[in-house]
Amino acid sequence: GRKVINVLYWFARVVMVEDLETNSVDSNIPYAEAVKLKPENVYMANARCRVAYNKLLQIFQKEDFVIQEYRKKAK
């Protein structure tokens, strides 16, 4: 449901930040620091977060639909 998707979204975000921290070691590109910075325009940051959340939700819904269709055809 909604809570599971919210947890998955935040888990994916944490994994992304950790991956950026790992891959930006010994490089001149401060990806991890940029991700952790507090945005100047909180409204735009929330809007971007909502767009990403909705896109993730659409991906999960499409994946569920495809799995259901495969199950129907398998019967």
Other CB atoms within 10 A of residue 39 CB: 11
Note the pLDDT of residue 69: 92
Note the pLDDT of residue 32: 54
Using only C-alpha atoms, what is the Rg of the chain?
A: 17
Three-class DSSP category at 60 = helix
Note the pLDDT of residue 18: 76
Note the pLDDT of residue 4: 85
Question: Are 64 and 17 a contacting pair, CB within 8 Å?
Answer: no
pLDDT digits (tens, 9 = 90+) for 9-65: 888 888 877 776 676 666 565 555 656 666 677 787 778 778 888 888 888 899 889
pTM of the model: 0.46
Note the pLDDT of residue 45: 75
